[in-house]
């Protein structure tokens, strides 16, 4: 289900068992508040019938699912901070059985690093299982066109007008994160109103808004390759703030390190860049950039780097260590 589908459902039947997953936290919080308002509202029994289970405490969550409302009214049960990648198949099956029989309204709220969703064509086992007993809502990043329409409405609510082309300008300038955009458009509109106007101009955006560059895992990998520890920590902090999945961050780094090792080995055998690109199915320009980096390092150092990445991957997948902390340790080890 999409957020738009959820919006339609809440108008007629807000009760249900919901799974919130995906990257757009702004919309998750917005619809969470809507469900809270519709189910609990100003009910005097809200203090007893609104339950938040924190820290992924599944035994406590399961016990609440078997509970009864106090003083009448509807119950709303929320589950937070559960790392579903580490929930066993048997436990997930038991949880699904409880959810399927629940008469309460339930929200399982997950962050991107807590819930492996898979893809539309091949959903993860966790999503496949929970989709059978919940209304699974995918809060994916909004497309620029949808964001531009939302920004226009947001500005209108602030008493200002932003032309469509400037909405796109603001998105490009400040990133597509809706939390960031909401704050920026409110700041811009306050500035415009204080200037005695109600139309936002490009100059207003450039004067008031804060540019925000979105860095990704490739930038992070390059910082590691350059042994720039300070930059690597800055980039990692940015990705954590945007709730990038640690598995995705480390996966990109591991693939790049593996590519460099293969490129260095092939180059040492005398293979030409063109033949290497064909063998590795890599664009020749991309290969040329990585070849420059690979030739600055010995095969032994690249093998050690690849081994450290494999060990970090093992820790993320098979231990209870905080995944981001594992990546921070990798930065120090590299």
Return the higher-pLDDT residue of 70 and 79. Answer: 79
Strand partners of residue 109: 20
Per-residue pLDDT at 218 = 66
Mean pLDDT of the chain: 87
Q: For the chain, what percent of residues have pLDDT higher than 70? A: 94
pLDDT category of residue 45 using cuts at 50, 70 and 90: low
Q: How far apart are CA 98 and CA 64, in angstroms?
A: 10
Residue 154 CB contacts under 8 Å (≥ 6 apart), including other chains: 181, 182, 185, 186
User: How far, in Å, CA of 323 to CA of 313, rounded?
Assistant: 9
71 band by pLDDT with thresholds 50, 70 and 90: low
Looking up tokens 């289970």 gives: 53
Chain segment 150-196, per-residue pLDDT in tens: 999 999 999 999 988 888 888 878 878 888 888 899 999 999 999 99
The model's confidence at residue 259, banded by pLDDT at 50, 70 and 90, is confident
CB 22 within 8 A of CB 136: no
HSE of 200, CA atoms in CB hemisphere, 13 A: 33
Give the pair of three-digit tokens for residue 51.
Answer: 């339950």
Q: In the prediction, which pLDDT does 188 show?
A: 94
Local confidence band at 70 (pLDDT 50, 70, 90 cut-offs): low
Neighbours of 31 (CB within 10 A): 18
């Amino acid at each position: 289900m999409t957020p738009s589908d959820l919006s339609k459902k809440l108008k007629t039947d807000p009760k249900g068992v919901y799974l919130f997953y995906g990257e757009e936290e702004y919309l998750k919080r917005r619809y969470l508040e809507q469900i809270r308002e519709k189910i609990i509202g100003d009910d005097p029994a809200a203090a007893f019938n609104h339950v938040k289970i924190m820290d992924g405490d599944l035994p406590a969550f399961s016990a609440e699912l078997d509970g009864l409302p106090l003083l009448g009214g509807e119950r709303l049960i929320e589950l937070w901070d559960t790392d579903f990648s580490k929930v066993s198949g048997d436990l997930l099956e038991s949880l699904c059985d409880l959810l399927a029989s629940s008469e309460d309204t339930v929200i399982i709220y997950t962050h991107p690093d807590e819930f492996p969703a898979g893809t539309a064509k091949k959903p993860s086992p966790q999503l496949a299982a929970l989709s059978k007993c919940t209304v699974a809502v995918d809060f994916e990043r909004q497309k620029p066109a949808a964001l531009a329409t939302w920004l226009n409405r947001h500005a209108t609510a602030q008493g200002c007008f932003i032309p469509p082309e400037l909405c796109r300008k603001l998105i490009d300038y400040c990133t597509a994160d809706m939390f960031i955009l909401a704050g920026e458009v409110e700041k811009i509109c306050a500035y415009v109103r204080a200037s005695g106007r109600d139309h936002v101009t490009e100059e207003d955006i450039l004067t008031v808004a804060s540019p925000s560059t979105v860095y990704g895992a490739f930038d992070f990998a390059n910082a590691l390759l350059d042994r720039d520890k300070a930059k690597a920590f800055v980039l990692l902090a940015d990705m954590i703030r945007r709730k990038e999945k640690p598995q995705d961050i480390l996966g990109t780094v591991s693939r790049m390190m593996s590519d460099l090792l293969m490129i260095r080995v092939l180059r040492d055998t005398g293979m030409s860049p063109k033949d290497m690109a064909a063998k590795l199915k890599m664009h020749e320009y991309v290969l040329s950039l990585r070849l420059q980096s690979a030739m600055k390092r010995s095969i032994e150092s690249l093998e050690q780097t690849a081994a450290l990445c494999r060990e970090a991957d093992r820790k993320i997948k098979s231990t209870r260590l905080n995944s981001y902390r594992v990546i921070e340790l990798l930065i120090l080890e590299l």
